[in-house]
Structure 1
């Protein structure tokens, strides 16, 4: 089964950027992740990304390392 991030229309997904720094986002299961700011944006049950800065979730070092594959925890 595809994750919510994988289910986003490819054309739409290509255009989605972080609303805070306008940079690219990583697919992180049911969220889109900004590794520079270490914040995640949820994708609702209808597959719609919630791209509101005040609803972004802070991501801890261990989760950042898991998402990015960076064992050192740095970007």
Structure 2
């Protein structure tokens, strides 16, 4: 998945239904509002609520500029 992929415009977080940000190098989608990361496996976003991983505060601070 790349930043210009049209799929990014329609993908949403399964928990708050808000937009997601692609993390470089395209291995995960990030929800800065809930501080959750969803993996992309073999090009397929894993957007089940149970697939999301909490992002620690220190890492969230580093990722804030992406959203």
TM over 0.5: yes
- Aligned-residue Cα RMSD (Å) equals 1.9
2: CA distance between counterparts of 1:43 and 1:31? 5
- The reply to whether residue 65 of structure 1 matches residue 26 of structure 2 is no
Secondary structure of the 1:6 match is coil
Q: Point out the structure with the larger strand share.
A: 2
**2:28 aligned with 1:14, yes or no?**
no
Please report how far the alpha carbon of residue 66 of structure 1 lies from its aligned counterpart in structure 2 after TM superposition. 0.9
Q: CA separation in 2, counterparts of 1:35 and 1:15?
A: 17
Q: Distance in 2 between matches of 1:38 and 1:19?
A: 13
Runs of 4+ aligned residues of structure 1 deviating over 3 Å after TM superposition are none
If the length of structure 1 is used for normalisation, what is the TM-score? Answer: 0.75
Structure 2 spans left out of the alignment, 5+ residues: none
Alignment length (residue pairs): 64
> Greater CA radius of gyration, 1 or 2?
1
